[in-house]
Amino acid sequence: MNILYILSKGLNQPDIQSLHALELQDRHPRTTYLERSLNANILDERWLSQVNGIRGTLYKWLPVTLSQIVEAIYLSRKTDVIFSHTEKVGLPLGLLLKWMRIKTPHVLTIWRITSSDSIQAKWKALFMRLTVDYFTSILLWSSNQRKILCEQFHMDSRRVHWIRYGIDEQFWRPITHQQTMICSVGMEMRDYPTLVRALQGTSIRCHIATGQARGELFDTVRRLYQMRDLPDGLSIGQKNYRQLRDLYAK
């Protein structure tokens, strides 16, 4: 089966072979597992940089997202299944393929229908209303987001699938560490100001691993960054995978 797998990873990320090598060295979670298992054509930024001819010249001038949409349309009639793992490409691509009456089955992964950014939320809602009868299947990691899609956008529940968020149990394993501290990781549904106030006047070491996610800065994180007179033992900042595993061990 010819699968077109659309991703947004950035050119600053290692290619799949280099990343797989890091996984084998226990330096990175097995994030390439799905890509390698699908045996698909990976339409990411690296794919665009390798396109030659008129399309390649065009992509050097167009924004990456728009280039991915154009390339996906070009490849859609030669593809058995389109799997969009990025909603910023998948939603507008779905709308265009619907208008063009291209019937290639299209599966879309959505992180969330709602958004902390009101403009993004409105755009997502508009695209969902226009494509609600188009996508073959939609995959979500949140049961609440699935409920929103089915009830507010009236999408057929048989085409909306709540999937469990995978975890690499080999990489994220218990590790013994001599240091002891507390930590908090994440962005949504956090009350970091209360945690910071609880730490005031103590000698407890704490790290809060948070920051931007998928281009969004959640209000929970913004309120944390706006605080002054933070406790001496508190540090804030994002961590890479190995640093995060080490933090958990502490």
Residues 150 and 195 in one domain: no
- Cα-based angle 11, 14, 19 (whole degrees, multiple of 5): 150
193-205 per-position pLDDT tens digit: 899 999 999 989 9
> Residue 131 falls within a domain, yes or no?
yes
> Residue 171 falls within a domain, yes or no?
no
Q: How confident is the model at residue 69 (pLDDT cuts 50, 70, 90)?
A: very high
Q: Distance (Å, rounded) from C-alpha 214 to C-alpha 212?
A: 7
69: domain CATH number?
A: 3.40.50
> In this model, does residue 67 exceed pLDDT 70?
yes
Q: Domain range for residue 146?
A: 3-162
> In this model, does residue 214 exceed pLDDT 70?
no
> Residue 177 falls within a domain, yes or no?
no
Chosen domain end from 130, 162, 194: 162
Query: What SS3 state is found at 213?
Result: strand
Residues 149 and 187 in one domain: no
Residues 186 and 150 in one domain: no
Average pLDDT over residues 227-249: 90
Q: How confident is the model at residue 213 (pLDDT cuts 50, 70, 90)?
A: low
6-46 per-position pLDDT tens digit: 998 776 777 888 889 999 999 999 988 888 888 899 999 88
**Which residues neighbour 26 within 8 Å (Cβ) at sequence distance 6 or greater?**
171
Range in 5-9, 114-118, 150-154, 162-166 the model is least confident about: 114-118
Average pLDDT over residues 91-95: 96
3-state secondary structure 47-61: HHHCCCHHHHHHHHH
Residues 25 and 129 in one domain: yes
Q: Distance (Å, rounded) from C-alpha 73 to C-alpha 134?
A: 15
**Diameter over CA atoms, the chain:** 64
Task: Confirm if 206 and 183 have CB atoms less than 8 A apart.
Answer: yes
